[in-house]
Structure 1
Amino acid sequence: MRYVVGITMDNRGRDAVSLALALAQTTLSSHRVELDLVHVLRGVPPEQAGSKPEREYQKLCLEEAEQWMAKTHDLVPKTIRSTTSVHFADSMAAGLIDKATSCPCDLIIVGAASHGPLRRFTIGSVANALLHSSPVPVALAPSGYLPPSRLTRLSCALGMRPGAEVALNVATQSSVLHDVPLRLISLIALDSRTEDVERTDAARDHAKKLLLRASQSVEDATEVMVDVALGRSIESAIEKLTWDDGEIVLIGSSRLAKNRSIFMGTTANKMLRSLPVPMVVVPRYHAADFISDNGISI
């Protein structure tokens, strides 16, 4: 497996590395992870610059980036395979997608905006671009994220609309891959004036069906549980759930997303405001993709 980790010269880069290590260190030995640490510089390589001043400037930026990447590489234990590179592109998001699509990649990992509150998300321009265009899953580390000794649980937020099966398939395979329990969560935002009993009952029934399906899928490979949270908003529903420090949340893309592409919907945006743990957004896949790719996991 290969993770492309977006490295910036601030705390976001360290947050991204921390999340990459948390994932890599719990992956089964049969699926060793290689971390591709990537820093993106805007523009073209020095040798392609159109003028001498531009060549000198790009060369200076490259030297500074290489020094930073060498320090970042020291954060990765020698037991985990890792490489570093500096890539030139029109934007960091474009550069990371270039690297992710240059050879098989399972995940792009980036940090939240550096001005975000501790252990919360503030989506910067890089993450925003990735969460609306990436062809591979994107993991977002909250500000100030510290790697746990190991992952303790994978949660998967599932709605009732078509497409939830995609996120469920990725979540079940990933929970087995990382040898952690799987929690299925259903968030219900109730009207401020009346509690929609029928909608709540329907959501609970749907969650039970997904629980049965996930349990059958993983057999005895891992534990599967379900949590249904009610609140006056998605944010308040999230706050009623308990969260482990070693937990990661996985969600699917909006129905507006193109096949094999991410488009983060309104519910996911609302979740980000309250989540204290990393989030992974998976692209929208057609059912045939799971057959041709022999399963998709992060």
Structure 2
Amino acid sequence: MTVVVGHLPHKGGRGSLDLGLQLAHTLGRPLAVVTVVPRQWATPSLARVDGEFAEYARQVGERAEAQAREYLSETTVEVEVRYEAVPGRSSSAALVETARRLDAALLVLGSSTDGAEGRITVGATTGKLLHSSPIPLALAPRGYRSDAVDGVPRVTCAFSDNDASVRVVSRVAEVARGVHAPLRVASFGVRGATMYPPEIGLSAEDSVLAGWRDQVVAAQQRLVERGVVDADVERVIGTGAGWGEALSSIDWHPTELLALGSSTVGPAARVFLGSRAAKIIRHAPVPVVVLPAG
């Protein structure tokens, strides 16, 4: 199996390459750096435009490979790397097709350069894949850096109290074992700005949040009782007035992974992102791995 990185110069920077290298090195898998270049129309033209278009597509692929080679030449880890430029009118479809052909374990993508440093900003291609990919997606925050030498220091699994989430924890536990990293289970709760009318006050919201916390503590403990995780697995709860505050209320190692499952209401064996997962991704300070439903 291969770790596939979707790479295009000036779109996403080198974060996806650093994350792809980190994951390939940790998993002991080869790395494939894939650039989607424009595909020509099926009907040839009598004008010179076809030749010019083909030359443009070739140059896009060559620039992407040269940039990726320059970035990856700085590492000291040994990973087998291949480079491909694949034609496609849809970047998301071409990446999925290539990932399938290469038997990809993960498809790694970077963040849009329009987003905030250190956060994941979903561009058009990533957005489509977050609602259709049959392959696990790994998303790098903008500006992400990893020398890959130390592998993955920890895998945190986002958990909510339902059967689907329990299955996700079980799958993520396997991921953590695969990358030789300790597992942590984390639940996040947000005190909404308009949970109750102003005359009732914040105390009611705090009381509801406290009750939710008690339920989550019990749900996390049941993971141990059911044998989903070992008793020594760290279990934490993050809360706040918003999702950013909730995620930042717990500690993070800058190169750990946050893993979560996609919604079960979407197509089977596909990523289909719900609103809660989308908010967690948007505020995550570390790379995120999204598993397809199933």
What is the TM-score with the length of structure 1 in the denominator?
0.85
Structure 1 equivalent of residue 44 of structure 2? 50
With 206-215 and 254-263 compared, the bigger mean Cα shift is at 206-215
The 1:109/1:175 distance shift into structure 2, 3 A limit, reads same
1:275 is the counterpart of 2:275: no
Matching of residues 175-194 of structure 1 within 5 Å: 175-191=176-192, 192=195, 193=202, 194=204
Matching of residues 127-146 of structure 1 within 5 Å: 127-146=126-145
Structure 1 equivalent of residue 223 of structure 2? 210
Indicate the SS of the match to 2:229: helix
**Deviation string, structure 1 residues 200-228 (Cα, Å, up to 9, x no partner):** 22111111222453434xx9xxx621101
With 65-74 and 7-16 compared, the bigger mean Cα shift is at 65-74
- Give the counterpart letter for 1:53 in structure 2: V
Matching of residues 64-79 of structure 1 within 5 Å: 64-76=60-72, 79=78
**Deviation string, structure 1 residues 223-259 (Cα, Å, up to 9, x no partner):** 6211012223333211211111121100000122211
- Give the counterpart letter for 1:236 in structure 2: E
Structure 2 equivalent of residue 10 of structure 1? 10
CA contact (8 A) 2:213 2:237 kept: no
With 233-242 and 65-74 compared, the bigger mean Cα shift is at 65-74
Matching of residues 1-298 of structure 1 within 5 Å: 1-10=1-10, 12-27=12-27, 32-44=28-40, 50-51=44-45, 52-76=48-72, 79-148=78-147, 149-150=149-150, 151-191=152-192, 192=195, 193=202, 194=204, 195-196=207-208, 197-212=210-225, 213-216=227-230, 224-285=233-294
CA contact (8 A) 1:257 1:283 kept: no
Using the TM superposition, give the Cα deviation of residue 129 of structure 1 relative to its aligned residue in structure 2, in angstroms: 0.7
Using the TM superposition, give the Cα deviation of residue 137 of structure 1 relative to its aligned residue in structure 2, in angstroms: 0.5
Bigger Rg, which one: 2
CA contact (8 A) 2:35 2:64 kept: no
With 183-192 and 207-216 compared, the bigger mean Cα shift is at 207-216
Indicate the SS of the match to 1:23: helix
Please give the alpha-carbon distance, in whole angstroms, between the structure 1 residues aligned to 2:71 and 2:279.
32
- Deviating above 4 A after TM superposition, structure 1's stretches of 4 or more consecutive aligned residues are none
How many residues were matched structurally? 274
Using the TM superposition, give the Cα deviation of residue 188 of structure 1 relative to its aligned residue in structure 2, in angstroms: 1.7
Please give the alpha-carbon distance, in whole angstroms, between the structure 2 residues aligned to 1:203 and 1:234.
17
Identity of aligned residues (%): 25
- Give the counterpart letter for 2:218 in structure 1: D
Using the TM superposition, give the Cα deviation of residue 170 of structure 1 relative to its aligned residue in structure 2, in angstroms: 2.3
Structure 1 equivalent of residue 198 of structure 2? none
Structure 1 equivalent of residue 199 of structure 2? none
CA contact (8 A) 1:166 1:284 kept: no
**Deviation string, structure 1 residues 32-51 (Cα, Å, up to 9, x no partner):** 21111100013238xx5622
Using the TM superposition, give the Cα deviation of residue 190 of structure 1 relative to its aligned residue in structure 2, in angstroms: 3.4
Please give the alpha-carbon distance, in whole angstroms, between the structure 1 residues aligned to 2:258 and 2:116.
19
- Give the counterpart letter for 1:65 in structure 2: G
Using the TM superposition, give the Cα deviation of residue 263 of structure 1 relative to its aligned residue in structure 2, in angstroms: 0.8
- Give the counterpart letter for 1:73 in structure 2: R
CA contact (8 A) 2:37 2:60 kept: no
CA RMSD across the alignment: 2.1
